[in-house]
Chain A
């Protein structure tokens, strides 16, 4: 067998077909031997790329929202009806609307405010305050002691996380009272979107000039706002 003949049988060789003539040629031809070895290596390494990448949490958030809108995901019946004296609409109006709007305001803040070196003791940006529910004075969140933080940016992130956690707990508590059957649904959705926000924020902290990272964080907040809006729609 000559080098040119190797070309004819090469595809089958890579598929691990045995060929005695070829084996003999490869032992005496370093170039063909290296070619076969390289192609086998490429083929085997490529297999490792299957399932190697993780989609962003927003993908599931969007899928779930679509399935819910189409009725493929069915909401379980509420175990107990809302108290007759309380209008569902009025409940959602005082609680969900301002929070959804505030989250969108937070996203807008991220668009327009690139991180800049902060002066020690500087008040956290507006993004920390709108996440607080309307029934809870935003100042209680915004006035968290930044002095304990290792850096102003970390302090800001902690404030956001604390505000978000408190607001989510109140949100879930309200859902449990008003529509108990929906609690698990919204708990899962909140977990996904909060993970997304956390990941996006962490990446942006490390890459403050990365516009894609900034856009991801904006989308994360927008998705959380969308979640609150969906809750609003459900309870109306």
Chain B
């Protein structure tokens, strides 16, 4: 058996070798996709240990079924949908709402208007990555799910609606409110930082 390194064979070749049980091929596929899978789990759960467990579970589920992969869709699409399903399953097990409960409590008039005319700290131009991560961690679970899937991972609203089990309108609404909350959090963090210096 040869020992293919990432870059020495294509993803399609690695998939075919993995179907034969070649460990090096599995390892190549893992290294090609590990960052996106782990980052998705980490963003959704905000817990590195749980993110590792779920990334492991997503890869295991995929590798166990790799012999059924026929290439009709992109391998990465298959993997990332599987990862999202693993994460959502975990959130359901923990009893966390996939759609924010605040959605049903807030009226259309309430949430966003307080933003208008605010003459406070400005975000202007750049956002510190670490602060953005921390702000996302603070989002209510439902908002976080939709925001991460749409703005971080690039899923469309119809895909999110299908994955999460909500309406497309609901997905759009939660995304918008998530962004508004993030803006609040980021401004608060920036003001706090400015106050400390």
Given A50-B36, A59-B38, CB of A45 within 8 Å of CB of B127: yes
Q: Does B14 contact A (CB under 8 A)?
A: no
Q: Interface code A9-24, partner B: CB below 8 Å = 1, 0 otherwise? A: 0110010000000000
Interface stretch (choices A29-37, A124-132, A141-149, A164-172) = A29-37
The closest CB in chain B to the CB of A34 belongs to B122
Query: When the two chains form the complex, which single residue of A34, A49, A56, A66 contacts B132, counting CB atoms closer than 8 Å?
Result: A49
Q: Does B70 contact A (CB under 8 A)?
A: no
- B63: shortest Cβ distance to chain A, in Å? 6
Residues 10 to 37 of chain B near chain A (Cβ within 8 Å):
20-24, 26-27, 30-31, 34-37
The closest CB in chain A to the CB of B151 belongs to A46
Q: Interface code B120-159, partner A: CB below 8 Å = 1, 0 otherwise? A: 0011111101001100100000000001000111100000
Q: Interface code A47-77, partner B: CB below 8 Å = 1, 0 otherwise? A: 1111111111011101110111011111010
The closest CB in chain B to the CB of A39 belongs to B179
Q: Is the CB of B30 within 8 A of A52?
A: no
Q: Does A3 contact B (CB under 8 A)?
A: yes
Query: Once the chains are docked, how many angstroms separate the CA of A39 from the CA of B180?
Result: 7
Q: Does B87 contact A (CB under 8 A)?
A: no
Given A49-B132, A52-B129, A54-B38, CB of A10 within 8 Å of CB of B176: yes
Chain B positions within 8 Å of A49 at CB level = 39, 43, 129, 132-133, 136, 152
Chain A positions within 8 Å of B52 at CB level = 55-56, 58-59
How many residues in A have their beta carbons less than 8 Å from beta carbons of B? 49
The closest CB in chain A to the CB of B182 belongs to A42
Query: Once the chains are docked, how many angstroms separate the CA of A70 from the CA of B63?
Result: 11
Q: Does B74 contact A (CB under 8 A)?
A: no
Chain A positions within 8 Å of B147 at CB level = 46
Query: Once the chains are docked, how many angstroms separate the CA of A63 from the CA of B26?
Result: 10
Name A's interface SS.
helix
- A182: shortest Cβ distance to chain B, in Å? 10
Q: Does B112 contact A (CB under 8 A)?
A: yes
- B3: shortest Cβ distance to chain A, in Å? 5
Query: Once the chains are docked, how many angstroms separate the CA of A62 from the CA of B27?
Result: 12
Chain A positions within 8 Å of B129 at CB level = 45, 48-49, 52
Q: Does A80 contact B (CB under 8 A)?
A: no
Q: Is the CB of A7 within 8 A of B152?
A: no
Chain B positions within 8 Å of A64 at CB level = 23, 26-27
- 24 A-B pairs with CB atoms under 8 Å apart are A3-B116, A14-B179, A31-B118, A37-B123, A38-B122, A38-B123, A41-B127, A42-B182, A45-B127, A47-B154, A49-B39, A49-B43, A52-B129, A53-B39, A53-B42, A55-B34, A55-B35, A60-B30, A60-B31, A62-B56, A63-B26, A63-B63, A66-B60, A71-B21
Which A residues have a C-beta under 8 Å from some C-beta of B? 3-4, 6-7, 10-11, 14, 31-32, 34-35, 37-39, 41-43, 45-56, 58-60, 62-64, 66-68, 70-74, 76, 181, 184-185, 187-188
